[in-house]
Structure 1
Amino acid sequence: MTAEQLHKFIQAPGLLNQQSLPQLRELTERFPAFEAGWMLYLKNLKNLNDASFEQELFNGAIRIHDRRKLYVFLNETDDTADQTGQKDDIFEMIFPPEYNLEATGNVVESSEEVTGTKREKPRKGAGLIEKFLEAQPKMPQINEKEAGAPSEIKSAQEDGNEDFVTETLANIYAQQGYHKKAILIFEKLSLKYPEKSTYFAGQIEKIKYLMNN
């Protein structure tokens, strides 16, 4: 599945069908930490009322950094029947009683608050998980000298300038095509912040996927 196809499904998840399902399943198998792939795969299963949805939702939810986005995305509808009971079931599967929302920073409204009001339909191209595929706002073009080589990054860390290696810098590298440098930074961040290692692994998988497509 190409990046263009992923963008199409993000903008119009109602297009997910029997043909897209095996492609997305393969994507999650090849890139298990790729959050956008999991979100689209789960949405596809839900669209088709697939019998494996519940089990796959359990498998996928633990890989999603912000489960609130997953919950809202799965419950987006194209003015179809609003199955409130099913939404409550999905809420409980994504946020089981033992899942500490506040400890992970994902403070989520109650099920009634999330599902009780009809949300405004998002504009085309403003999908809830667009952030997982698109880079952050465009940054000025940088060159090798301005950005610094990996050896300079290592030197900056050793000198105690820990702010030098940041997620923002990694995103700048990725935007400008310095994929290996971006991956290097995310690997360092993953070691520094092990509690966010799953998130950083997803960022690395995303970059690797874009490198090959």
Structure 2
Amino acid sequence: MVEVKTSKDFSELIAKLNPTNEEHKIALEKIIKDYPYFQTPFLYYSKLLKNTNHYDYEKILNQTAVLTNDRKVLKLFIDDFRFNQVSKGTKKIESQTNKSKLKLSFIEWIKYSEKKLDPIIDAKIPLENKINIIDDFIDKNPSIQRIDRNDETSDLELENVFSPEELMTETLAKIFLKQKKYGKALKAYRILSLKYPEKNAFFAVQIKKIKEIQDKD
């Protein structure tokens, strides 16, 4: 039985992933069930299902597409990626065609989108206090409208998926916005503001835009 408990375990699974290995398939299924917004396992699971002509392929591919920023690159990965084509040593690029360049871009994109930064805010600070930090920032910026604390921030469903200290991505915030789940989108951007204070101004603007959209709806 393949167990994936750490990021190292996950990397090792991906490195040796075999589409005909039932244990590998089960391990990926468990990961995407436990982490429904973690895009990398969805990508490999979709590819695995395609390689085995699995009946769930279209369903999983659609879920993967929702988590993917560039669907052209996703299509290229699904169509052209070969399991175990990259050795443990130096990565080899088979050719310099546009397709191979897109493959490299896809790998770089995964690494960038999934990387984790050291926590900047002390994990012992309660989530409510951290959110107040964001509200204070918006209060002090006259060009940004303050978020009403009586809005949908009491929605606890988001915490059922992510703990306050887990990685909250911009992709997830955009997904919530696209689905018109404004309360969740607001909370996602607040958590992003805490994790990446250097982008506070940008996230505050996004929060304001969401509020404006919410008011129109």
Give 1 or 2 for the bigger CA radius of gyration. Answer: 2
Q: Sort the TM-score into its range (normalised by shorter chain).
A: 0.3 to 0.5
Using the size of structure 1 for normalisation, the TM-score is 0.46
